[in-house]
């Protein structure tokens, strides 16, 4: 059978960036790195840096940590500037530096998605971190919400977060909470895709 006349339809993908995280993560990284460098240099300059190893080894270790620890802090603090959210007819995907979360479109209760302020919302506010990052100006990973539900979050601006219920095999929903630059645009797109298709 000839393939003439057939064509592959590629789903349109809309990409969103996280809302600007402000100076919080950068200031956190700079301040932490500054403290580490000062402490490590002070240790290296001490007459006897360690009671357990010889002076030369202790100083070499302290100077090495003065370089490696700030690099580690910077790597941990930079992801909010590079997170991208992609939405198409099949899934919503969140891509960060070293991780990727993908949720099938059929699991999203897009018709119930809304924009919330997680600092004042009595149900969808963040209650406890169960796995992920929490630093000034940025939250990512899994959190427990005030209503007891579990949520995957990528939040830079807590006052304008798009909250999307996610169907699970259990009776209660989980949530996807995202700070995007254009939350209204993402909300409209979600509602558009959840609308019944015309024959």
List, for residues 129-142, the tens digit of each pLDDT value: 998 888 778 888 89
Locate the domains of the chain by residue range: 104-194
pLDDT of residue 68 exceeding 90, the answer is no
What is the H or E stretch that residue 154 is in?
strand 150-155
> 16 vs 13, 40, 48, 52, 112, CA distance in Å?
10, 40, 53, 52, 20
pTM over 0.95: no
Question: Is the distance from CB of 11 to CB of 90 less than 8 angstroms?
Answer: yes
The whole-chain average pLDDT of the chain stands at 80
Query: What are the φ/ψ torsions at residue 15 (nearest 5 degrees)?
Result: -110, 140
pLDDT in tens, 39-57: 878 877 777 666 666 777 8
């Amino acid at each position: 059978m000839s393939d003439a006349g057939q064509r592959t339809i590629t789903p349109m993908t809309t990409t969103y960036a996280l809302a600007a995280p402000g100076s919080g993560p950068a200031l956190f990284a700079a301040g932490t790195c500054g403290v580490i460098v000062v402490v490590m240099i002070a240790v290296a300059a001490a007459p006897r840096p360690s009671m357990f190893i010889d002076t030369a080894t202790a100083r070499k270790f302290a100077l090495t940590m003065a370089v490696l620890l700030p690099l580690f802090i910077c790597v941990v603090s930079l992801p909010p500037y590079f997170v991208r959210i992609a939405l198409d007819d099949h899934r919503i995907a969140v891509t960060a530096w070293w991780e990727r979360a993908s949720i099938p479109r059929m699991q999203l209760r897009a018709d119930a998605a809304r924009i919330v302020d997680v600092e004042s919302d009595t149900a969808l506010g963040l209650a406890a971190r169960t796995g992920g990052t929490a630093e000034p100006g940025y939250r990512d990973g899994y959190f427990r919400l005030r209503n007891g539900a579990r949520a995957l979050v990528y939040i830079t601006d807590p006052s304008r977060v798009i909250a999307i219920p996610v169907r699970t095999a259990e009776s209660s929903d989980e949530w996807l909470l995202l700070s995007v630059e254009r939350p209204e645009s993402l909300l409209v797109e979600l509602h558009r895709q959840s609308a019944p298709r015309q024959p």
